[in-house]
Amino acid sequence: MTGLVKLGSAPTRKDVTRALSIVVAFALLGLGIVPVTAQTPMPGPVCHIRGALPDPVCTPGAVLTTDAATVCQAGYASSVRNLPDATRNAVYAEYGISDHTDYVIDHLIALEDGGDTAIANLWPERVSGWPGAKEKDWVEGALHRGVCTGRVTLPDAQRWLATDWRTALIEPAGT
């Protein structure tokens, strides 16, 4: 009869502690709170897409180069574009997205603008909706052309993309 209190006998401290633990556990479950035990793994960080922007904590952006001459060479972006499926899946998992149908893994700071393929620069960008992936691609291309013609500095382009790509073309060059 291990674990049970015999009727008519005084409960021990262990019996009282066990009973209180059970009562507290059921009370917490009733409130929607699941107690964490040694067997319950803690959930990892969950990132949240903020409209047309990634979570700034999970995806702050990462730069591979700040050299304009390098990114302006024909074929540069394709030469550094290597994103294994395992990395893509890790980004989707980090953002809690299991249905990838309406998403594409994107670089916050575009490769053509010196961005890196590090996970800190990757996020699941929605394809549909406005503004979405197509609009961001257009902004990235416009900034790249600005960098390569000397109208925009590469660090400025990178900062604008990492901060809020939607306003990147509004700011005057050189700020």
CA-based torsion, 6, 8, 13, 17: positive or negative: positive
- pLDDT tens digits, residue range 138-156? 999 999 999 999 999 999 9
- pLDDT tens digits, residue range 74-108? 999 999 999 999 999 999 999 999 999 999 999 99
- pLDDT tens digits, residue range 9-60? 555 665 555 655 565 555 555 555 554 444 444 455 589 999 999 999 999 9
With 0.85 as the threshold, say if the pTM is over it.
no
In three-state form (DSSP H/G/I as H, E/B as E, the rest C), the secondary structure along 78-133 is HHHCCCCHHHHHHHHHHCCCCCCCCEEEEECCCHHHCECCCHHHEEEEECCCCCCH
Query: What pLDDT shows up at residue 30?
Result: 59
**Position 3 confidence tier, pLDDT thresholds 50, 70, 90:** very low
Q: Which amino acid is at 144?
A: H
Domain ranges within the chain, ordered by starting residue? 68-167
